[in-house]
Amino acid sequence: MSFRPYIGRAGVVLFASFLCQFASPAIADEPPVPAAQALDIQLKGATSLFEQASAKANEAVTQALDLVGIRYRRGGTSPETGFDCSGFVGHVFRQGLGLILPRTSREISKSGEVVKKNELQPGDLVFFRTMRQAFSHVGIYLGDNLFVHAPASGGEVRIEDMRTGYWGKRFNGARRIASSE
């Protein structure tokens, strides 16, 4: 199964999201808003907070996709030396979002908010039970049951389907890391 079509689609969506940041809102000279509409305006403000969080997640996804193909290296934390799974996730969140995460997947699994599998959003962290240990592997969710990660020795950062036999049987939980900004 080839993931190349997904990478292209993800790029288009991310580019469109990026362009939306530069759209200027229409400004009109309107009379003050009646009190009955004030609540509606506040709710729209909450939506913009959601959009900001979504934009941050897109930044993380874009950063992660740019690193596809970098080789795996145990203990690795940079594109120059290679990545292990937690080094990859840490690098993406540090470079893309300015967030410092703990060093190991087990420690990262204690960060952020727990997310149910059916509520995953792009940018969420997904954890797997490998080596017979809970939370021993971490990747970044892309959407459509796909995630990007640094898999193992001899591998490279790649996109995989969480439903496949190996990963589907080992899914261990998910977390959403929110920026404090």
> For the chain, first and last CA: distance in Å?
39
| Residues 6+ positions from 51 with CB-CB distance below 8 Å | none
Q: How many domains does the chain have?
A: 1
Is residue 132 in some structural domain?
yes
| Distance in angstroms (rounded) separating the CA atoms of residues 67 and 50 | 26
Q: Which CATH number fits the domain that encloses residue 171?
A: 3.90.1720.10
- Name the token pair of 83: 């990545």
Rg (CA), the chain: 19
Could you read off the pLDDT of 84-109 as tens digits, one per residue? 999 999 999 999 889 999 999 999 99
- In the chain, pLDDT over 70 holds for what percent of residues? 69
pLDDT band at 150; cut points 50, 70, 90: very high
Q: What share of the chain is helix, strand, coil (3-state, %, to 5)?
A: 40, 20, 35
Q: What is the pLDDT of residue 54?
A: 78
Is residue 15 in some structural domain?
no
- In the chain, pLDDT over 90 holds for what percent of residues? 60
pLDDT at position 148 over 80 = yes
Q: What is the pLDDT of residue 53?
A: 59
Is residue 136 in some structural domain?
yes
Q: What is the pLDDT of residue 44?
A: 44
Say if pTM beats, i.e. exceeds, 0.95.
no
Q: CB burial class (10 A; 0-12, 13-18, 19+) of residue 129?
A: middle
Is residue 170 in some structural domain?
yes
Domain that holds residue 113: 62-176
Given a contact cutoff of 8 angstroms between Cβ atoms, the answer to whether 78 and 95 are in contact is: no
Could you read off the pLDDT of 60-80 as tens digits, one per residue? 899 999 999 999 999 999 999
Is residue 67 in some structural domain?
yes
Could you read off the pLDDT of 6-38 as tens digits, one per residue? 444 444 444 334 334 434 343 334 444 443 443
| Distance in angstroms (rounded) separating the CA atoms of residues 121 and 53 | 11
| Distance in angstroms (rounded) separating the CA atoms of residues 7 and 143 | 11
Q: What is the pLDDT of residue 57?
A: 83
Pick from 64, 88, 66: which is nearest to 76 by CA? 88
Spell out where 26-151 has E strands: 77-78, 82-83, 113-114, 125-130, 133-143, 146-149
Is residue 102 in some structural domain?
yes
pLDDT band at 52; cut points 50, 70, 90: low
Hey, which residues are catalytic here? Answer: 85, 137, 149
